[in-house]
Each structure stands twice: as structure tokens, then as C-alpha cells.
Chain A
Amino acid sequence: MLRLIVTTAFTALAAAPALALDDITTFTLDNGLEAIVIEDHRAPVVVHMLWYKAGAADEKPGVSGVAHFLEHLLFKATDKLEAGEFSAVVEANGGSDNAFTSWDYTGYFQRVAADRLELMMEMESDRMRNIRLTDEDIETERDVILEERNQRVDSDPGGLFAEQRRAAQYLNHPYGIPIIGWRHEMEKLDRAAVFDFYETYYAPNAAVLVVAGDVDPDEVKALAEKHYGPLEPTIGLPERVRPQEPPQLAERRLIFEDPRASQPYVVRNYQAPERDPGDQKTAAALTILADILGGSSATSVLGRELELKTKRAIYTSASYAGLSYDDGSFALFTIPAPGVSLQEAEDEMDAVVAKFIEEGVDPEQLARVKTQIRAGQIYAEDNVNGIARKYGAALTSGLTVEDVQEWPNLLAAVTEEDIIDAAKMIFDRKKAVTGWFRKPQQEVSQ
């Protein structure tokens, strides 16, 4: 068992808070299951998470939504459990449980008293290989996911707009397909599609176990060997290579109109490199660039200029999604003030970014951002569930434990020059989608 209590040191910055360190143990079972144990003994609670290195972007063409549909179906029967019994047992033990699906991973978690960990492992390992589905289960649950799509996407014009922008952003990569699925494909999801995905990816050699809380790492390892150890790995697990993007050569522009759209806005997503194993420097610079450009309305470059000074926008932001298996995205966002057109809002946002690249980074602002990043690590220690998610998401997105622990150092090392270089690299309109969101034109008085 490899025990990594990390000794991370920060280079000097005035009033740098002392670093709180994750107390981490890792091991790997013979069948390929990777495990991470995070200790927090303040309360007799444990979070048990099982993450699969498979999400919506690993689906075959034509069955969009199957990863998420399977996530729902994992709460049905197994050889040992009746449908619904998994959650009933968790609740009967005072715990809570749920699951989530992303493009890069599918995760299941329970939060229970620490002495119930073995029961969780027994049930979670059971449903990794042994679900049993009736046709009725599949049909009824398909109605549920269609209602979920109704609720989360079709009832929300902003959700539909985001889906359309994403589809335009990726020319070839399956990140352009919604996690919930396209409705016409969801309606046809069947047993064959579900089991094809399940039998391939729900296997110890495609999974990461994260256990966090009031536990002893040796005991966790013994329990994991007992319950997960006997599971057969998937032989010939496909290498995780998704269709990649060709060079993006043409700017894409979308106008999305919906009568339910009350507040017009502009959002632009640029193609952006993600955090790669052993190579996260660019991603670190982009992370800080997003904070500086559009982190806080009162202190960010966009907020100060457009919200406070010219008052031409009522809200602005910049964000960067660097945690993904393949290329991520960097977004700029502005809500124009009344009387400002979307074209003006977009032009003024671009002018602020251009001026920023020319004038450079305010060193005081950079220092404050870094102070907050360090303090964020102290505050994060109060939430062991968050630490567990951080590791689970990173390890299923192609990163290693070392990458996760190196990340704060890389953020602290970012220089003003790195940030400007990153900005020059990222802001290429040929690799971007610009979306306008508004009411149908005839109703609009822009």
C-alpha cells in the first residue's frame, strides 16, 4: 500500500496561509480496481463512492443517453437485491445515496455511519456485475429519463441553448452530444444498448473506489479485497480513445430564439486544452485567467469595466472547464444592460479582453487570486465529501493522484506572463462558438 501524505510547500507570498494537506492512501487490487482512502476523523461518517471511467462521451453512436439511463437502472434489481432495495437499505441505515453521470464518468455514492461501510461495499460490488432488469423496468425508467429531459432541458430555454451551442462547438468529438441524450435516441434505448455499455464498462479495471471519512486505510483495503476483489475484470477493455477534433477553421455563430427567453445574453465558448497528466501548466494559467477576467463582478477585469465603470452590462463572467478527459472549454459571458444590443455587448466584451491582453495583469489582483486559492484548500478540509469528489473526478478524467496534489503548486506558480500567453493562445474566434440568446426578433426592441 502506497501511503502518500503529501508535503507540498508554497513559495513565499506575503501572508500565505499554512497549507492543509489531504490525508490520502492509495492502492490497486489485482483485478485493476484503483482505490483512494481519505481520512477525516472529526465525525463518525464515511462517504463511499464508486466511479466508472465511462460516461456519455464513451457511448457508441446512436444511443445517446445510455450511460445516464444505465445509471438510473442500477437502482433496480440484482441477483441479491430487489428493485429499489439498494436505496432502501441505505436509508434504513440512516444514510443517503445517489449517482451522477458526466461525459467522462459515472459515479455512485453513499453517505453513512462509518461502521456501515462494509454493507455499502457489499451492495455496490454486487451491482457492478449482476444487475437484472425486466422489460417493465426498462420501459418505466425510460419514461422517467424522458421526464428528466423535459424538466432539465426542454422546459428551460437556457438548457436548450446550451445544448445547441455544445453541438456546434464540437465538430467530431462526442462532447457535443448531451449527457441526457437526444430525445429521438432516448426514446429507442433498449436492453441491448444498456447491457452493451454495462458489460463493457462496469468492471473493476474501469473503476475507481473512493472512501472518505472516519476510516482506517488498512481496514478499507481488506474490505475492498473481500468485496471488490473477486470481481472479474473486462478482458479487452477498449482503450479510451474518442473521436478527436479536426482543426477548427471557421468561427461558428448561433442565434437562439425562444418566446420564454426574457433576458438576452451573449456567451462565447472557445476550445481549450484540459488538464493533462503530468502537463497541467497551461490549464493552471487558464484557470487563473478565468478568475482574473471574470471571477468576481466587483474585482474582475470584465466586471470592473462593463458592470461598474461603463454600466453597459448587468452581469459578466468568465469560466474554464479544465477537468475533462479530452479538450475542454473556456467561456465568456455577458448580460447587456437595458438598451444595449447583443452586438454591442459582444463587441464591448471583446474590446475589454483585447485591452487586457495589451495592458497585462494587475499584480495585486493576481496576488489576491492566489491567496484565495490557498485559503480555499483550508476551507475545503471542512468538506471531506468535496475532497472525495475532487479525486474521483480527476482520476476518471485521466489524471493521477500526483496530478491532483501538484495542482495547487502549479496554480501558485502561474506568472503574469503565463496568463497573457494563455489568453493569446485561447482567444481564437476560429475555434469558438458565439451564441446570442433572445426572444424571437419581432418581439424584441433591441
Chain B
Amino acid sequence: MKLMTRKLAALLTAALCFALPAHAIDIEEVTSPGGIKAWLVEEPSIPFTALEIRFKGGTSLDRPGKRGAVYLMNGLLEEGAGDMDATEFAAAQEALAAGFEFDVFNDSFSVSARFLTENRDEAVDLLRKALIEPRFDQAAVDRVRSQILSILASNEKDPNDIAGKTFNALAFGDHPYGSSEEGTPETVASLTRGDLLNAYNDVFAKDRLFVSAVGDINADELGQLMDRLLGDIPASGAPLPGPAEYLLSGGETIVPFNTPQSVAIFGHEGIKRDDPDFFPAYVMNQILGAGGFGSRLMEEVREKRGLTYGVYSYLVPKDNAELVMGQVASANDRVAEAIDVIRNEWARLANEGVTDEELETAITYLTGAYPLRFDGNATIARIMVGMQMDDLPRSYIDTRNAKVEAVTKADIARVAKRLLRPDDLHFVVVGQPEGLQAAN
């Protein structure tokens, strides 16, 4: 045993005593006079506030035949609002040095804002225009539409995008999860202003709203801010979509594409975020392929064999489906070997579980890394809004590491046997892979 290894052993013991930051995150629950709830951490040392807003639903709320409507609507919120056209709006935002970002995902619509204390009211009024009074002028619609069509055209030539799109289509078929949230060239071309207004009305509603703020702002100020910003949003929106049936079985799908390196995306069904075995699964995945250097996949595929620059696995608990997924890229003549090694690692973990040392290393890492996440206003605001969407209590931050530490080898053996099914793994390979046969 070398010097550092001994040192490592000593440190492992020390690291297990890792506590949360001495000045632990003090989350206050705020309810505005108008009844909107938010989580707040006051942090007055820098004169700005980070605000995070989420609406559940996201692009899964696209109406039938209107795929891409929510995505296009998202791109238009800043392109003309109230009495301002796109240029006037952007100029006003620049003059305030405020930052607004709108983004859409499968299951949510997000608004991330930051603004200086000295002009907070003006910044919030401007953001309100985008959220409450978007204009969807035809000229802006056409302009943003052409940008999206350009993105779609580029995506059609991007092996990563082709792989992801193919996997989703095979896995989820007609459910919104089965198609690109940007839409297709055909649906995007056909979207009308009326479709965008529908998308707007479907997405924004108080019954699916989550808010957090961190920074130079107190509870009263945040309450007033929320009522001004969000008070006029309707109480309810479109019904949230139901469960997505998983349609894929084990095998390989090859999408021929002229490129020197094949890209593979693989996966099968996974585990829900609120499953009692979620934490064992989370720790298991850390050992399998989430950990970057030192994970089993990285060790076997990259470090020992040099087959790739990167290989990862991840749990994907969506609102209406859950997956275990992974990805790798490897030269066309080597990707078959990479896939073999991955399948073997899947089977090895399912059959043999993990070692004491692996479990200890993973737990030490996960518990030690957790407090390091809370390192900035914007980061903390994002974590807090995510906790609310996952229906976690404020106290979760204090109990989370105990849940990780409680995971045993037996827990992982049980969950690995249930979760990791090498025969069910489906690989979508984009490229010109050698030595692979399409089984599907």
C-alpha cells in the first residue's frame, strides 16, 4: 500500500463526519399577500437577487399536431411585449443590466432572472411584461420560427441528436416524450399565432407554479414582487399529461451516418424519484457510471481499454416515465467492443452487486459533495425550486446525507437486480459501426 492510499484510508474516516456548512442554508417559506408561495434565502452580501420560477408541464403540453408550439412560444416571450417591440424590450433590459432566461423542458417551463437591488422594481416590471403581456407579433413569430427551422436542420446532421431522437421515438412513440420538443420542420412551419396563444394559456397557471429566491431581498419585498410579477396569471391551465408507456425491448438499432465515430445512447426502464429504493439506485449509479473518473464504466471502457473519451450512465426520473440511460462515443471499428464491455458491466453489477470499498467511496463522495453544491445565489435558488417540484420538504437539505449514508450493500444488490437488466438494454448507434447487427 502506498503512502497516499494509507492517507486516503485515514481521510475516508474523517470525511464521513462531513457536516453541512456551519452557517447552514436557512430557508424561509414566504406566502405573498396574494397567496403565492416561495422559498427564500436572504443573502444581502451582494446587491442582487436570483429568482427562479417554474411551471410544471413544459413541452409535454403541446396539443396534438402542434408539436413545437410551447418551444416556439418560449422563444417569443422577449420578442415584443406590452408596448415594446423586441429591440425596445432588449434595450430596456440592457439598461437595467437585468438578466432574464426562459427555457422549456419535457416537464417544465423555467424562468431564471437576476436583477440588481438598485433597480429591482423596474426589472420586475419589465419581466412582468414578457410573462403577462407577450405580443406574438407575426413578424417576430416568423423570425423565431426561421431560427428554430435552422436549429432543426442542424440537428438532423448531429449524431448525438439523431441518437437521442431515435431512442425517444422507439421508447415512447406517440407520447410527447417520443418526439423532439422543438417540433418537426412540418409542425413548426404550420404553427399559427393562435397556436402560440393556446400554448401560452396552457402552460402558465398558478396551480403548477413554483418560486424560489436568493439574494438581497427580504420576505415582504419578495411577497410584493411575486404579486406584481405573477398575480395576474390564471389559476389553472391545461391538464398535465398522463403516464408514458415504455415501448422498447432489448437490442440494437443502427442509424447509418457518415462519421468516423459512432455515438451510442442506451437504456431501459428506470426508477421513480419517490420510490423507496431511489437512494440505493442513486448510489448504485454513482458506482456504475455517474462518477466520471473512477466509475466502473469509465474505468473499463476508457481507462483500461482507451475505447472512448467519455462514457456515462444516469437515472432519468421524468414526471411520467423513468429510465436508466447511458451514452458513449467510440470509433466505428471499436464501438462494438465498447458496447460489449458496457453490457458486461451492467450484468456484473446486477449479479454481483458492489464491494464494501466501492460503496464507502461512493457514499463519502456523495455526502461530501452535497454541501459544496450550495455555493452561489443562483445555484441555491435552482436547488430550492427543484426541491419544491420534487415535493421535498425544506428540511430535506438536513436529512439528505443521512439517506445516502443509510444505503447498504444489500440495498444495492436488491435494487441492481431489479433495475439493471442487460438483456433489456437497447442501444441506438449512429454512425458506421463495424461488427454490430441490428436486432430490432
- Chain A residues with CB under 8 Å of chain B are 15, 17-18, 20, 42-45, 75, 80-85, 87-89, 91-96, 111-113, 119, 123, 139-148, 150-152, 154-155, 157, 259-263, 296, 298-299, 304, 307-308, 311, 314-315, 335, 337-338, 364-365, 367-369, 371-372, 374-376, 378-379, 381-385
A236 CB, min distance to chain B CBs, angstroms: 32
Indicate which residue in B50, B150, B306, B374 contacts A141 across the interface (CB closer than 8 Å): B306
Q: Which residues of B contact A96 (CB under 8 A)?
A: 369, 372
Q: Which residues of B contact A157 (CB under 8 A)?
A: 157
Residue B406 interfacial (CB < 8 Å): no
Indicate which residue in A91, A144, A308 contacts B365 across the interface (CB closer than 8 Å): A91
Residue of A nearest to B430 (CB): A155
Cross-chain contact A95 with B368 (CB below 8 angstroms):
yes
Q: Which residues of B contact A44 (CB under 8 A)?
A: 21-22, 371
Residue B3 interfacial (CB < 8 Å): yes
Indicate which residue in A18, A75, A259, A299 contacts B293 across the interface (CB closer than 8 Å): A75
Residue B86 interfacial (CB < 8 Å): yes
Q: What separation, in Å, do the CA atoms of A314 and B147 have in the docked complex?
A: 6
Cross-chain contact B46 with A91 (CB below 8 angstroms):
no
Q: What separation, in Å, do the CA atoms of A75 and B303 have in the docked complex?
A: 11
Cross-chain contact B146 with A314 (CB below 8 angstroms):
yes
Q: Which residues of B contact A18 (CB under 8 A)?
A: 47, 118
* A298-B90 contact, Cβ under 8 Å, with A88-B294, A93-B11: yes
Most chain B C-beta atoms within 10 Å of own C-beta, residue among A75, A89, A96, A155: A155
Cross-chain contact A378 with B364 (CB below 8 angstroms):
no
Indicate which residue in A112, A123, A384 contacts B372 across the interface (CB closer than 8 Å): A112
Cross-chain contact B369 with A92 (CB below 8 angstroms):
no
Cross-chain contact B4 with A85 (CB below 8 angstroms):
yes
* A17-B291 contact, Cβ under 8 Å, with A140-B303, A383-B376: no
Cross-chain contact A89 with B11 (CB below 8 angstroms):
yes
Residue B349 interfacial (CB < 8 Å): no
Q: What separation, in Å, do the CA atoms of A383 and B374 have in the docked complex?
A: 11
Residue of A nearest to B330 (CB): A147
Cross-chain contact A299 with B91 (CB below 8 angstroms):
yes
Q: Which residues of A contact B153 (CB under 8 A)?
A: 262-263
- Which candidate, B171-179, B253-261, B408-416, is the interface stretch facing chain A? B253-261
B307 CB, min distance to chain A CBs, angstroms: 7
21 of the cross-chain contacts (CB-CB < 8 Å) are: A17-B47, A18-B118, A84-B299, A85-B2, A85-B4, A87-B292, A95-B368, A96-B372, A113-B371, A123-B4, A148-B309, A155-B261, A296-B94, A299-B94, A308-B87, A314-B146, A314-B150, A338-B149, A378-B46, A379-B114, A381-B46
- Known contacts A94-B372, A140-B303, A375-B116; 12 additional CB pairs below 8 A are A88-B8, A91-B365, A112-B372, A143-B307, A147-B329, A155-B259, A260-B157, A260-B259, A262-B153, A308-B86, A372-B97, A381-B46
Q: What separation, in Å, do the CA atoms of A314 and B261 have in the docked complex?
A: 31
B124 CB, min distance to chain A CBs, angstroms: 16
Indicate which residue in B150, B365, B366 contacts A315 across the interface (CB closer than 8 Å): B150
B342 CB, min distance to chain A CBs, angstroms: 15
* A374-B97 contact, Cβ under 8 Å, with A151-B261, A155-B159, A304-B87: yes
Indicate which residue in A15, A84, A261 contacts B119 across the interface (CB closer than 8 Å): A15
Cross-chain contact B90 with A296 (CB below 8 angstroms):
yes
Residue of A nearest to B156 (CB): A262
B187 CB, min distance to chain A CBs, angstroms: 18
Indicate which residue in A111, A259, A298, A372 contacts B87 across the interface (CB closer than 8 Å): A298
Lowest 5 A-B CB distances belong to which pairs? A94-B368, A143-B306, A375-B97, A298-B90, A150-B261
Residue of A nearest to B48 (CB): A378
Q: What separation, in Å, do the CA atoms of A304 and B307 have in the docked complex?
A: 47
Q: Which residues of B contact A365 (CB under 8 A)?
A: 91
Q: Which residues of A contact B376 (CB under 8 A)?
A: 382-383
Residue B391 interfacial (CB < 8 Å): no
Residue B392 interfacial (CB < 8 Å): no
Q: What separation, in Å, do the CA atoms of A137 and B378 have in the docked complex?
A: 41
* Residue interface mask B242-262, A partner, CB < 8 A = 1: 000000000000000011110
Q: What separation, in Å, do the CA atoms of A76 and B22 have in the docked complex?
A: 35
Q: Which residues of B contact A315 (CB under 8 A)?
A: 147, 150
Cross-chain contact A80 with B4 (CB below 8 angstroms):
yes
Cross-chain contact B331 with A263 (CB below 8 angstroms):
no
Indicate which residue in B89, B263, B378 contacts A382 across the interface (CB closer than 8 Å): B378
* A42-B45 contact, Cβ under 8 Å, with A88-B294, A296-B90: yes
Residue B83 interfacial (CB < 8 Å): no
Q: What separation, in Å, do the CA atoms of A154 and B260 have in the docked complex?
A: 7
* A147-B307 contact, Cβ under 8 Å, with A154-B261, A262-B156, A369-B94: yes
Q: Which residues of B contact A335 (CB under 8 A)?
A: 150
Q: What separation, in Å, do the CA atoms of A335 and B149 have in the docked complex?
A: 12
Indicate which residue in A92, A148, A368 contacts B8 across the interface (CB closer than 8 Å): A92
Most chain A C-beta atoms within 10 Å of own C-beta, residue among B7, B8, B94: B94
A424 CB, min distance to chain B CBs, angstroms: 26
Cross-chain contact B119 with A89 (CB below 8 angstroms):
no
Cross-chain contact B94 with A311 (CB below 8 angstroms):
no
A300 CB, min distance to chain B CBs, angstroms: 9
Cross-chain contact A84 with B46 (CB below 8 angstroms):
no
Q: Which residues of B contact A15 (CB under 8 A)?
A: 118-119
Residue of B nearest to A144 (CB): B306
Residue of A nearest to B47 (CB): A378
Cross-chain contact A42 with B43 (CB below 8 angstroms):
yes
Residue B308 interfacial (CB < 8 Å): yes
Q: What separation, in Å, do the CA atoms of A372 and B91 have in the docked complex?
A: 11
Residue of B nearest to A111 (CB): B372
A57 CB, min distance to chain B CBs, angstroms: 23
Cross-chain contact A85 with B8 (CB below 8 angstroms):
yes
Q: What separation, in Å, do the CA atoms of A81 and B8 have in the docked complex?
A: 10
Cross-chain contact A43 with B306 (CB below 8 angstroms):
no
Q: What separation, in Å, do the CA atoms of A96 and B366 have in the docked complex?
A: 11
Q: What separation, in Å, do the CA atoms of A140 and B4 have in the docked complex?
A: 24
Q: What separation, in Å, do the CA atoms of A338 and B147 have in the docked complex?
A: 10
Q: What separation, in Å, do the CA atoms of A43 and B371 have in the docked complex?
A: 9
Cross-chain contact B309 with A45 (CB below 8 angstroms):
no
Residue B12 interfacial (CB < 8 Å): yes
Residue of B nearest to A265 (CB): B150
Q: What separation, in Å, do the CA atoms of A18 and B46 have in the docked complex?
A: 10
Q: Which residues of B contact A337 (CB under 8 A)?
A: 146
Residue B336 interfacial (CB < 8 Å): no
Residue B273 interfacial (CB < 8 Å): no
Residue B95 interfacial (CB < 8 Å): yes
Q: What separation, in Å, do the CA atoms of A92 and B86 have in the docked complex?
A: 49
